[in-house]
Each structure stands twice: as C-alpha cells, then as structure tokens.
Structure 1
Amino acid sequence: MRRFWLLFAQTITVGLAIWFIVTTLKPEWINGGLTSSPLHIATSKVPLQEAAPGTPTPGSYRQAAQRAMPSVVNVFTSKDAKPVSPEVMEDPLLRKFFGDRGDDADEKQSSLGSGVIVSSQGYILTNNHVVEAADEIEVALADGRTASAKVVGTDPETDLAVIKIDLPNLPAVTLGRADQASVGDVVLAIGNPFGVGQTVTMGIISALGRSHLGINQFENFIQTDAAINPGNSGGALIDTNGNLIGINTAIYSRTGGSLGIGFAVPMTTAKTVMESIINTGHMVRGFIGVEPQDITPELAESFSLNRSTGAIIAGVIKNGPGDKAGLKPGDILVAIDGKPITDSNDMTNLIAQLQPGTKTKLTVLRKAQETTVEAVVGKRPPMKRVQE
C-alpha cells in the first residue's frame, strides 16, 4: 500500500511538471489553442472605445479658451524708482526704512498685468493703470514671442489704454456683443494672475451696468464671479464662443485676492474708446459744463418733486456750453435728445457720447415747468491727475 501511494505521488508530481512546461512554452496545445497565456493577453487587441482626438468633454469650454488664449498677452512694465533726497539719507532713522541706496540709483520698479490683441496690426487693449507712468513696456505672447511696446493713447476716465507692438502674424481676438450678454451667462477670464503665467478661470455674469463704485469716472461694469486677481488687469473676459465681451479691470477685495466680485469694462465701451485712441491718440467726449447731482428723497421733497428720475444741475461752469444755453443751478435735466435720464451717472454717459460741435436738445424741469433748451456740445477736457 505504501508503494502504491509513493507511485501515485510521483505520477502526480511529474504530471504537474509537464502541465506547467506545456502551458508556459506551448499554450496553444491546450484545448486546441483556446487558452491564452498571460503574455498573449497582454499583447492581444481588445476592442476598446476611445474618444476621438480633440473631442470636447461634456461641460468643457476648451474650444472657447483655445480660441481666445493666443490673443491674451502678459504685460510687464518698469519705471525708474524715485530718487531719495540726500537729506533723507543723512537721517539715520529714515535710512533704516529706505536702506542704503547710494549704489542703487538705477533701481527699477516692476509690475505686471495683461492685455488683449485686438488687431493683427499690433494694437493691444489693456488697462491704463497697467501702463501708467511706465518707462518700459514688455509684452509676452502665448506662443513665447516677446516684444517692446509703445503707448498709443490712454483714457484714465475708463481706465483703458491702447499699446502697440511690431510683430508679424499676430492672433487678433474676435470681438463679442456685450450688449447681448445677460446675467447668468457663463464667462471665462484669461490673464496672468500674480505672474504665474496665463490662466483661465470660469464663472458667470453676476450683474450688468454696475456703477457708482468710485473706480472710474465712467462706469458701466460687467460684474462676474470668475476669479480675477492682481495681474489679471487688462485681460480678457470672453463668452463661451471665445469672443471678447469685456476687459477685466478691478476686483472687490479686502485681502488683495479674489472674493468672487470682479468687474470688467464691457466691449460696448471699450470698442468706442479703442477706436478713438487709435484714430486720434486720445478719447474725445462731449461736454456741456454742468455739475450733476442725483435726486434723493430729501431733495425730491425739498424741490416738491413727484419724480425720482433725472439729474439736478448743482452747478454750471461760467461761459460753458450749458451756461450759454441758459441752464441754471436747480434745473432738473430729464432728457437729452429725447432720451430719458435716470440719474447723474446716466446723464454723464449720455453727454459723453455726444459729438463735440454738434447741437443737442436738453429737456429740463424748472419751477415745475418742463422746457427745452438747445446747447452746442463742447469737448470734455482731459481728467486732471493728482501729481504724486
């Protein structure tokens, strides 16, 4: 019996050894070649369904981003540091704050921002505060090229500027219709936040026609929750088709970072400013020489008004267009060329759109009587900047 079990065990051992050798070296011998070795499985063609190259992921905005990103540039500026007076450097206490600058007379202050190529001729739209007072402006394109830029013109009252570079084959952005945008539309912000490089963020339009923010003289902002941070200034706000609908300008922040409230100048405004700067070197606006004031409930009661729309004329510039037309302090301007006025901001924007030298009809309310006067539109003087 013991010999029988020994023979049985040896037979099983030899059989397993043969099976191992055959399955390793000649797997096709097993079951007529139906069993595959691990090597055969690894190299066989398994029918897998893969997405076609370039097929967008559902919910993706890659095509819009890819269309607009080449047109968005990084703007690097530098200016000479203000020299510190010898009297300051002689004071040991003040020297601790300014440091020893005897050998750093050529020290430069650098800043960064963004811009958008709006013409293949090299015109770039950006913010005035990005290039203001810059001694040198360097532009870096998304394709790796760089070029020095010169300022064509600026408009501090909308915080817009146009600069120009000289390079061939520039990818100009497609201008969108900001006047057709609506609250809730998805938008993308493209720029160079914190200098990390070109970045795309997504959000929606939170509000339209934002004004009375104290950011610019002329305000009609698109508000968005797409993340806008320092360095995004002058960059693009685009729609889901990759069309430019605004120039990112400012953020509301208590920390310096994005809190989900960003503002962009709509292209309805930016296009007018851009074309005027390219054609004349500056922005030309209408002017009638009055100081407007909103109608508050208190003022409405004081003037015995039964309306809350319009703008009170608080002051009239002597010998200005309004003065010559007969406007007086206390008049309430209710319409310009038949267009109703809602408040002082609306009045300022409507007058700015008038062509200097043309005549305009001003409808005013004076002593509860409505009357119309005709004024020759003047040219708005440039905004005075406070010297630092």
Structure 2
Amino acid sequence: MTQACGLDFGTSNSTLGQVDGAGVPRLLALEGGSQTIPSVLFFGFEDDSLHFGRGAVGEYVTGADGRLMRSLKSVLGTALFADSTRVKARRLGFGEIIGLFVGEVKRRAEAQLGAELTSVVMGRPVHFVDDDTEADRQAQDQLEAAVRGQGFSEVAFQFEPIAAALDFERQVSRETLALIVDLGGGTSDFSLVRVSPDRAGAADRTDDILATAGVHIGGTDFDRLLAMSRVMPELGLGSRTRDGKRHLPVAPYYDLSTWHRINRLYDAKALRDLRSTMREAVESERVETMVMLVEDRLGHRLIGAVEAAKIALSDHEQTDFTFPVRERSIATLMTTRHLGEALADSVSRLEQTIGEVLKRAGVGAEAVDSLILTGGSTLVPAVSGRLRALFPGAELVRTDVLGSVGLGLALEARRIFGPQG
C-alpha cells in the first residue's frame, strides 16, 4: 500500500503530516516523541556515521569530530548551490545533502506508517529568492529533484502561508479575511486569504487568495544580525588596523555569523588571511580569540548560542551571553532593545512587504479580521510588537508555530492525491 503526505522542509525544522481515516490531519513523530526534527545533519569523521536532527546537534555539541550542515534550504536558488562541501575524502553537492535529509524523514515516516510514501506536497516559500524569477524557479526545481531522488514519484508544491491558512480554516465558523504571517528560518511570507468553512476542501481556491508577497528574511538572518551587532565586536569587528588607515575586513565576521557560510572559514586560505588580519589589528587579542574559535571549529556552536539568546529574549528583557573559547570567554549583555535595534531594518522590510500585500489586494489594514502567526520568528518581540501595532483591530491567532504548515500540507495532499490514512 502506498500513501501520500505533506512535507514541510524548513530552514530550521521539518515536519511531515498525513490525514487520518476521519479526515483529521496529524503530524508524525519524526524524532523520539517529537513531531519536529531540526533540519540538521552531522557527518561523523571518526566512524563515518551520519546523524540527523537533535541527534546531529548532540554529536556536534559533545565535540565529536565531523561536519555539521544546517540551514540547507537557504542555499536553494543561490550560487552556493553549485558548490560542494568536503566530507573527509568525499565531496557532496548541496542537492545530495538535502536529499539525504529528506530521505531520512521519509524512512522514519514509512517505518511508523508501515507503508511506502510515494506522493508528497512540499511546502515552499512565496519567494525562495527575492526579485529573481529565474532563480526562484531553479530553487523549486532543485528541491523537487532532491525529493524525487528519494522515491517520491508524485511531487506537488503549495505556498507555506497558504498551507497555514488551510490548517487555520478548520477552526473558523464564518468567512474571515485573514493575513497569514509565516516567519520561518529563512524566509518571511505574507498572504491575504479569505477563509471560510464553506470553501474548505474546494479544489480551486484561487479566488480566495487575494494577494501574496514574501521576502528572504527569517530567523537565521535575525541570528546573524544579533551576532554582528553584539558578538562580533568582541572579536574585533569595527576596529582598525595598527596604522589607523582602515577598518578590519567585514567579510570573515559576516561568514562567522551566517550558518551556511561558516564552513568557508575553515578553509586553509581563509584561516591564513584571518591570522594576517590579527597581526595587523590594533585589538589583536580580540582577533586572536576569533582565530582560536575558527581553529577549533566552534563557529556553528557560537551561532547556536546566539540563537538561544535570541529565543531567551522572547521571554526576558535581557540575557547575559557567555561563550568559552579555550581559556578565554566572549561575554556581552543582550537586551530586547539591542535585539530590536539590530533587527530594525529587517522589521521595516517586513512591514513594507505587508504593505505590498494590502496594496495588491486593494484593502486597508482595518479590513483584516484575523492575523494568523506561524513560524518561530513571530515570537521575537520586535516583530510581534510591530504586527500588533499595524493591525490593532485584528484578532491575533497563534497557530502551532512549528506544525501548522505541515498540517495544511497534509490536507492539500489529501485533496490532490486522495485519502491517505
């Protein structure tokens, strides 16, 4: 027996959903009892092992020798996709690495179901790549090729915010004009959708989607901006060379703050350049700490700690950030004000994108009945506060921030491919 499913391959986390015999969507447990699995792989060098999700993060954090791969979705449609990464004696393309992760999710789901999954509706952002239609098309083609390579013979796509709307629609009792705000790890998408219990399950919902827009900003960008603002100055960013003629180059700090670029610093030439910068720097000790960090391949762990601090600021006004590097320590205070200042330009771009959605639909903010928030980045105070200010009269609905897209994709899979469970 073969079956269909909905798969939300996210920048940070992934889910897989299916509709049961009663027509109710559910997410399958993909890692232990959890319905989410971090979109992370770890290639262990000591025993040539391959780990996924929390298991991959655990291997990395315990100091196992290997290569951590994360934020793979961010590479789709970019020039980086053509690159390959070295795993011991092998070089793997990003399409192959994405395929390994999708294949593992598929196998775990099939083991739980006792049936083969051959048909899938994949979630996709409104724009993989901003302002480049051809690159956006290539990104979907790249993801589709990776998915088909894992045994899915039928592959369809649905916008992630529309999937979130399909999930939300199950609980509405009247027609509602809803703005779906889907802030993920790599992209932010906004869709103005007419949801109605009478229209749920209809084959063609084109007329109900009044407008969509997206921008390539997400949680990993927030991590990078917070790191550049509060952590990288502790490693010399913004300081000058000894002759006072120029600032230190920004590129290594940008790479160290960006998940899918960190591995570039581990290249022998990049490390030589960084040591050369250290010798020229006025604040050479700070740069030396960065050299140590790169030598010890602590980059991903550092940005993981920044991400944890960002999450902590969703519930607390401030947090003390401390990260050990050999006998030294990177230490700085982070507050919600610091985070808001670091994200100011990004939040402004999100607001502009929302304005574009309303303009395309020909409605004002006062016409929006419900503000549907999905994606972990909607919890960031600077973002949620701005959304509340933009739509003071709208009902604020927090969905399952990590699961609503997967549930909606499961409903779409039933509509396209027929009954599943």
Both structures adopt the same fold (TM-score exceeding 0.5): no
Give the alignment's TM-score, normalised by structure 1: 0.24
- Look at both structures and tell me which one has the larger radius of gyration over its CA atoms: 1
Give the alignment's TM-score, normalised by structure 2: 0.23
Higher relative contact order (CA 8 A, sep 6+): 2
